[in-house]
Structure 1
Amino acid sequence: MEANRFEGKVVIVTGGGSGIGAAAVHRFGREGATVIAAGRTEAKLTVTAADAPAGSTVVTRVVDVADESAITALVTETAETYGRLDVLVNNAGTATSGTVEETGTAAWRSILAVNLDGVFFASRTALPHLRRVGGSIVNVGSISGLGGDWGLAAYNAAKGGLVNLTNAMALDHGHEGVRVNAVHPGLTRTPMAVPLTENEDLIAAYRKRIPMRRPAEPAEVADVIVFLASSDARFVNGVHIPVDGGLTASNGQPRLF
């Protein structure tokens, strides 16, 4: 039987309508938290809430994290309504392929707005509330922030920025009792990754590179998110955990033997 590590605690998960975000909502809910599942699409959030484990408390809120006033209002409203905020999971993300030459200004701005600006807006608003209870922030990055990809210039820039924003917040706020950490998924079976996970040639190529020979399931990433947010990780601050089946353990050379 799982412990209710989050009984009486309040958690916000952005991008909570599908994939890793929905899995995190469910895991926090199963452990007793009141979970605010935030996202841009009401229909997806409704499914997340309907699929939550029995007895969970999941509240859905439609919000675009790139909208400073909207995400600020959501965080403030949550803390005021429930009297506290214990965990912020910055999970919302988006990606568009393209080199620097191929990426238009609007696409560049959009990717940075969701993947990086939204984290800044939400975290800045959440910090005073997290400070009061000794809470934590978990940022959902990507192995694309730990190293470059071909043809993902804007996404690499945004997720790379998230890595060092995580470091800066961990340094600035650790002494205040607020821990800030990040998980960095590799290929995961999410709706955003369907073009990859349903391409047999690409999956075959990934299996040659991932030591565990498969993509992650969203729940496998969510489990690490919840660990970092929990008291089990109470002295863990400023860490970056790849959840990639061992992909980043490689130095990049092809298999020699």
Structure 2
Amino acid sequence: MYCDVTKEQDIGSLVQSTIRLHGRLGIMFCNAGVLSQSMKTILEFDLSSYEKFFAVNVGEVAASIEYAGQAMVKANSRGSIICKASIAAGLASDRNTDYVMSKSLVVALMRCASSQLAPHVIHVKIISPGPVATSALCATLGMGADDIESMFLRMFRLKNDGVLKVKHVADAAVFLATNSANSPMSNKLEGKVAIVTGGASGIGEATARHFAVHGIRMMVIADIQDELGQKVMESIGSHKCSYKHCDVADEEQVKNLVHSTVQNHGRLDIMFSNAGIVSNTTQTILELDFAEFDRIFAVNARGMGACVKHAARAMVELKIRGSIVCTASTSASSGSERFTDYCVSKHALVGLVNRQANSLGCMGLGLKGVTLDTKHIADAVLFLASQDSDLITGHDLVVDAGFLVR
């Protein structure tokens, strides 16, 4: 259907005709956008072009959220609205001021809308692609897609020595738009070998079971809860799951865990560094007990650091393009009046993922964090561990039912 996204009435008609023809609207993907035709700085700003530019990149998103949201609320539909921004929204630029500003506003708009529509069980999410050779960029630069991708290879040190393609953005959109737990059986992890620390209970156990459903060849559950770990292994089946005692606070045990996995199964594709502990106290910074602080850090920060270190070493040595996923927490971003040691430990983990992802990406490894607050973590970990997220690295995927945008 023809739709000029700069015209609000066109978007309203688009939504209404969709419902009239198909009975409902479950997903709205706000993807239309334009690139800046100039390289102007703030000193050369042309407000007339700025206003036309914003009409597409921001106005389209606002109107789409408005009309799709109204339709979903009216139909009592649990829908998803996905907006496309850009990594430019989080980066400074010496050019393209209008484009960067417009994408920053899309991010802000998404945060407001997600908070306001959450009571109606309508999820508003965002995708921020990196440099990708879209048809719009090809037209703007007057270059073919292959030439642009070659240029990106020279300019950027990207994971797997590859370039971001439109398909990778589409994979992310599908993940955000669907409930992968209810999708048909898939073999996303076929032939892969994984380690799940803290896999005897909670998020680790749920993820281990999810991995098993999606075709994992072999999975090693590592924990200090031996009885629970054995039960999980037996319920999944010894043909695709084993259990090993491992205290991640002891680097030597982590090293042995990785070594024995590679020795027994020939490879390591996925490390889900999930083992963690919560503080036994509600202390503030004024009451900080450094014995307890050190205990928390030994597992939550140092332990995950050891998992990343030894898993990465094994993957590099075996020339495996693997994925390392770490469990963080919304506490790393929101802070807390209490639990100071726990919040600081999780913030340290986010820093580890952000800082080391680039160096590991050049070796073909993806280092990713998942920040949690709900029961749907296993779906997120599956996505981050599979090839669907092959061009995502250094990213903290927040799964919190809108907690951080309240």
Q: Does 1:159 pair with 2:350?
A: no
Match of 1:101 in 2: 286
Which one has more relative contact order, counting CA pairs under 8 Å at least 6 apart? Answer: 1
Unaligned stretches of 5+ in structure 2? 1-183
Aligned runs of 1:64-83 on 2, under 5 Å? 64-83=247-266
Matched to 2:400, the amino acid is D
- The aligned counterpart of 1:38 is 222
Partner deviation per Cα, 1:62-115 (whole Å, 9 max, x = no partner):
110001111111111111211100000110110113213333222111100100
Q: Deviations over 1:200-245 (max 9, x none)?
A: xxxxxxxxxxxxxxxx22xx10110110010000111111111110
What is the rounded CA distance, in whole Å, between the counterparts of 1:143 and 1:19 in structure 2?
A: 17
TM-aligned CA deviation for residue 249 of structure 1: 2.0
Separation of aligned partners in 2, 1:162 and 1:227: 20
1:171 partner SS: helix
C-alpha distance in 2 between matches for 1:98 and 1:76: 38
Q: Which amino acid aligns with 2:213?
A: R
Query: What is the correspondence of 1:1-257 to structure 2 with a 5 Å cutoff?
Result: 1-33=184-216, 34-52=218-236, 57-96=240-279, 97-131=282-316, 132-186=319-373, 216-217=374-375, 220-250=376-406
Alpha carbons 1:11, 1:87 under 8 Å: kept? yes
CA-atom RMSD in angstroms: 1.4
Does the 8 A contact of 1:130 with 1:136 survive in 2?
Answer: no
- In the aligned structure 1, how far is the partner of 2:206 from the partner of 2:337? 29
Q: Structure 1 37/49 Cα, relative in aligned 2: closer, same or farther at 3 Å?
A: same
Residues 94-149 of structure 1: per-residue CA shift (max 9 Å, x gap): 01132133332221111001001111111111112223110010010000111201
* Aligned length in residues: 218
Q: Is the 8 A contact 2:221 2:243 kept in 1?
A: yes
1:32, 1:56 within 8 Å by CA — same for their partners in 2?
no
Letter matched to residue 227 of structure 1: F
CA drift of 1:2 comes to 1.6
Give the superposition deviation at 1:6: 1.4
TM-score by length of structure 2 reads: 0.52
Q: Matched residues in 1 for 2:310 and 2:238: separation?
A: 29
Q: Runs of at least 4 residues of structure 1 off by over 6 A?
A: none
Q: State how far apart, in whole Å, the 2-side matches of 1:10 and 1:235 are.
A: 20
**Partners of 1:150 and 1:142 in 2: how far apart?**
15
Q: Which amino acid aligns with 1:232?
A: D
Q: Which residue of 1 aligns with 2:138?
A: none
CA distance in structure 2 between the aligned counterparts of 1:58 and 1:99, rounded to whole angstroms: 41
TM-fit CA distance, 1:51: 3.4
CA distance in 2: counterparts of 1:2 and 1:27, whole angstroms? 11
Larger mean Cα displacement after TM superposition, 5-14 or 127-136 = 127-136
Q: Structure 1 residue 56: deviation in Å?
A: 6.3
Distance 1:14 1:21, change over 3 A: same
Taking the aligned partners of 2:283 and 2:235, their CA distance within structure 1 comes to: 35
Counterpart in 2 of 1:200? none
Identity %: 32
Aligned residue type for 2:246: V
